[in-house]
Amino acid sequence: MVMTTVKNELSTFDPVPFEELVKLPILIVDDVHLLRQLLLNFLEKEGFENIHIAVDGRDALKKIEEVQPALVILDILMPEMDGFEVCQTLRRNSKYDNIPIIIQTGMEETGERLRIFKEGANDLLLKPVNGAELVARVKVHLQNSLLQGRMREYQERTSKELEAALQIQAALMPDMSKIKRMKEETGLTLGALFSPSSELSGDFWGAEILEDGSLAIYSVDFTGHGVASALNTFRLHSFLSDGNWDWKNPSEWLQKLNKRLCKVLNVGQFATLFYAVIDPDNKTLKYASAGAPPVVYKASKNHDAELLETAGLPIGIMASTDYPTSEFSFEKGAELIIYSDAFIETSSANEDVLGEEDLCRLISEIQSIQSGSEKIDHLMKVFPGRHLERLPDDLTLITVSN
């Protein structure tokens, strides 16, 4: 029984009901009265009820403006602008470049018939036109065009919705005014860049000014990118906005966050995270890390650059994981570069990925730059992915300097 039902449904599969198709405006263009009438009869007999006529190329363009046809059946050889020119004109106009065009032609030579497609037509009918074939082709093209239109609408709507969601996501991260306030209240200079590889990002970062004048900062990268990982960034943000978090204590903070994420993340989903508390009064940097990429660090102007040890099981995998706190000095002139893996995993045709030596050189270079945003600009000047239209993964880049 079930099998039969499925089979029936398949055999009558019709993406757009015929009653819908027959109402769509169709334009027939031919300079010979008799031939126009013939095509009209074929279509009317089949039930099409919205058919319009044009007598040459110039008339066709006028009628197209008037009736906005869903499909054009076009003759080639006509006085007052031939079919090729009509085709070219329509295809150059973004308003009409999607209208299906069926050319009716007596041309038998392959080269000439190929030209029809080159000029932008969708299909051809050989003269003398066969009625059943005409109707079949008209139906196919109307259906395709309707479905493509719906697909376009769907894509436009989805991309608008995702754009709105990205704005919400971006608004949850510190903006320029918050970064300015951090400078005023902690004396620390921040620079930050957040660049999703698709509509939404699985990267996220945040910073808090603590009561004692310290700055807490975290950068997180959820597995994958796009909508699913972005939803996890929203989750993380809402966890962190409610409840008592021991922001002063990286180890406690990270362990608590890990336990909460372990409860809600599916197997195979996790996040790498770097969490640091910088105390400008005591000139210390305390951090804990869950497998984030090694952070670039310079203790002061005179110290050598080094990479901080950041190995650790990502959060969301095992609730009982310990994340120890490490402590370093953070003198006047000290500098940090925190980044997501895209910064060191992206290469381009001409440039290899950034290596440890590059990172250590870069941190020395940005030390002499005053503003956070200019430090970021400098780093982006050497980022191999800077010219790519679309990054392979989300990119976050943060600089902190004392």
Binding site for another protein (CB under 8 A): 221, 223-225, 267-270, 272, 291, 293-294, 310-314, 317-318, 321, 341, 345, 393
Cα gap 144→139, rounded to integer Å: 9
Find where tokens 């089979």 sit: 7
Quote the least distance from Cβ 221 to another protein, whole Å. Answer: 7
Reported in sequence order, the residue ranges of 169-324 that DSSP labels E, i.e. its strands, are 189-195, 203-209, 215-222, 271-279, 284-290, 296-298, 306-307
Closer to another protein by Cβ: residue 306 or 345:
345
Specify whether the CB–CB gap between 72 and 97 falls below 8 A.
no
Quote the least distance from Cβ 303 to another protein, whole Å. Answer: 24
Closer to another protein by Cβ: residue 1 or 311:
311
Quote the least distance from Cβ 342 to another protein, whole Å. Answer: 10
Closer to another protein by Cβ: residue 42 or 270:
270
Quote the least distance from Cβ 312 to another protein, whole Å. Answer: 6
Specify whether the CB–CB gap between 275 and 247 falls below 8 A.
no
Specify whether the CB–CB gap between 238 and 293 falls below 8 A.
no
Measured torsion, CA atoms of residues 33, 37, 38, 41, in degrees rounded to the nearest 10: 180
Closer to another protein by Cβ: residue 312 or 372:
312
Closer to another protein by Cβ: residue 149 or 392:
392
Q: Which residues make Cβ contacts (< 8 Å) with residue 172, sequence separation at least 6?
A: 204, 206, 233, 234, 237
Quote the least distance from Cβ 318 to another protein, whole Å. Answer: 6
Closer to another protein by Cβ: residue 220 or 278:
220
Quote the least distance from Cβ 319 to another protein, whole Å. Answer: 12
Specify whether the CB–CB gap between 178 and 170 falls below 8 A.
no
Q: What is the DSSP letter of 353?
A: P
